Structure 1
Amino acid sequence: MIDFKKNDGLIPVVIQDNYTLEVLMLGYMNEEAWNKTKEEKLVTFFSRSKNRLWTKGEESGNVLKVVSTHIDCDQDTILIKVKPAGPTCHTGSRSCFQTKFNQNFLFYLEQIVKNRYKNPTEDSYVNKLRKKGINKIAQKVGEEATETVIAALNETEKDFINESSDLLFHLIVLLQEKNISLKKIAKNLESRHK
């Protein structure tokens, strides 16, 4: 139960991309905005400057679709994981926090690969690789792993970064082929860390 009696009835709300886990913005909700958000599954804030409810994206179309909500231990802050329909910031950036890059791009890349599987196009490398089957996909992971080791031992840092990137990309394709998410891998790694 959220304690809307604190802070004059306005509760801070952290908005996080459900797939990349990147923090996208901070806003405020009163109880009415919270109820509307839960009902419509679109994030609605209480705009302090407009002094009214404001559904994010009501003008731009860049709405924030609610995936899950989480209330902190003091019941006075909300975390909402969302699927953004475009840039979140009014400046056109993906996040209101001007980080130089998406710190969790691997999760975003996983979604791109997943989309290539669902909506294949002829010019997509993922689609071409997928048509060759799991044996070829697994072989590519092995090739890229070998090239990464060679680069680590004998080549420049840039070469090593490029080969490591190729390895991770092909591993994500193999995981998609096997219908295993990065989240499952992360959970497995976490369970081993004791």
Structure 2
Amino acid sequence: MEFVKDLKFDEKGLIPAVAQDAVSGEILMLAYMNEESIKQTIETGHAVYFSRSRQELWEKGATSGNIQNVVDMYVDCDRDAIVLKVNQTGNACHTNNHSCFFRKVENGKLIEIPTGLAARPGILYDVYNVIVDRVKNPKEGSYTNYLFEKGIDKMLKKVGEEAAEVIIASKNYVKSEVQYETADLLYHLSVVLVEQGLTWDDIFIELQKRYK
């Protein structure tokens, strides 16, 4: 990890690190890192920071479960700041907002705009991970386990049915139904992706190739 030697840490051996949602681009939080936390982040793939108040390393989500899987790490032009592109499990902020930056300056005043867990693209990762967990740890009465027991034909039938429901809702111009049926469709597509050994990242990469 020779690049660490080129970073410009402050007098306390720290460097600011911004965590950004790898899917939506949303800024999640600001924390600090030192050489050891950077090393552990790279080795584990999970964001590890340095707590200035406790004067110790802390892995994001080690207690809450809201871990950050690091996709990429960037260093700015002056080498005195870091950006972590992460897949956030749960919420990043201790206030139970997805992002710590939920206060907006409007007309010289601070306006709070709470951010919900479900109101973000990253929810697809959460749904996907739950499906993977159901496959590894079957749960009695689980609809997901039922689909895997029935196999690919049942899964694809449900994808077709939900796609048809989206079409019907859209033709009727009922927004709430379009919203509901689209969510159903995305869930069943997630089931198929898990069954096929694909992830949402694979789909996003394919989309990125087409729209560069």
Regarding TM over 0.5, the answer is yes
Q: Does 1:191 align with 2:191?
A: no
Identity of aligned residues (%): 38
Is the Cα–Cα contact under 8 Å of residues 8 and 15 in structure 2 kept in the other structure? no
Q: Does 1:176 align with 2:179?
A: no
Which letter does structure 1 place at the counterpart of 2:158? K
Which residue is 2:63 aligned to?
61
The 5 Å alignment of 1:89-108 reads: 89-91=93-95, 93=97, 95-98=99-102, 99-101=115-117, 102-104=119-121, 105-108=123-126
* Alpha-carbon distance change, 19 to 123 in structure 1, aligned in 2, over 3 angstroms: farther
Q: Any gaps of 5 or more consecutive residues in structure 1?
A: none
Which letter does structure 1 place at the counterpart of 2:49? T
Is the Cα–Cα contact under 8 Å of residues 62 and 88 in structure 1 kept in the other structure? no
Displacement of 1:97: 3.8
Structure 1 stretch displaced more, 119-128 or 33-42: 33-42
Q: TM-score, normalised by structure 1?
A: 0.77
Q: TM-score, normalised by structure 2?
A: 0.71
Is the Cα–Cα contact under 8 Å of residues 4 and 30 in structure 1 kept in the other structure? no
- Hey, what's the Cα distance between the residues in 1 that align with 2:158 and 2:26? 30
Structure 1 stretch displaced more, 152-161 or 77-86: 77-86
Displacement of 1:22: 6.1
- Hey, what's the Cα distance between the residues in 2 that align with 1:179 and 1:21? 26
- Hey, what's the Cα distance between the residues in 1 that align with 2:129 and 2:24? 9
The 5 Å alignment of 1:23-172 reads: 23-31=27-35, 33-35=37-39, 43-47=48-52, 49=53, 52-56=55-59, 61-62=63-64, 64=67, 67=70, 70-74=73-77, 75-80=79-84, 88-91=92-95, 93=97, 95-98=99-102, 99-101=115-117, 102-104=119-121, 105-172=123-190
- Hey, what's the Cα distance between the residues in 2 that align with 1:158 and 1:181? 28
Q: Which has the higher contact order (CA 8 A, sep 6+)?
A: 1
* Alpha-carbon distance change, 53 to 161 in structure 1, aligned in 2, over 3 angstroms: same
Q: Does 1:5 align with 2:8?
A: yes
RMSD after superposition: 3.4
Is the Cα–Cα contact under 8 Å of residues 11 and 29 in structure 1 kept in the other structure? yes
Q: Any gaps of 5 or more consecutive residues in structure 2?
A: 103-114
Provide the secondary structure at the position in 1 that maps to 2:127: helix
Is the Cα–Cα contact under 8 Å of residues 33 and 48 in structure 2 kept in the other structure? no
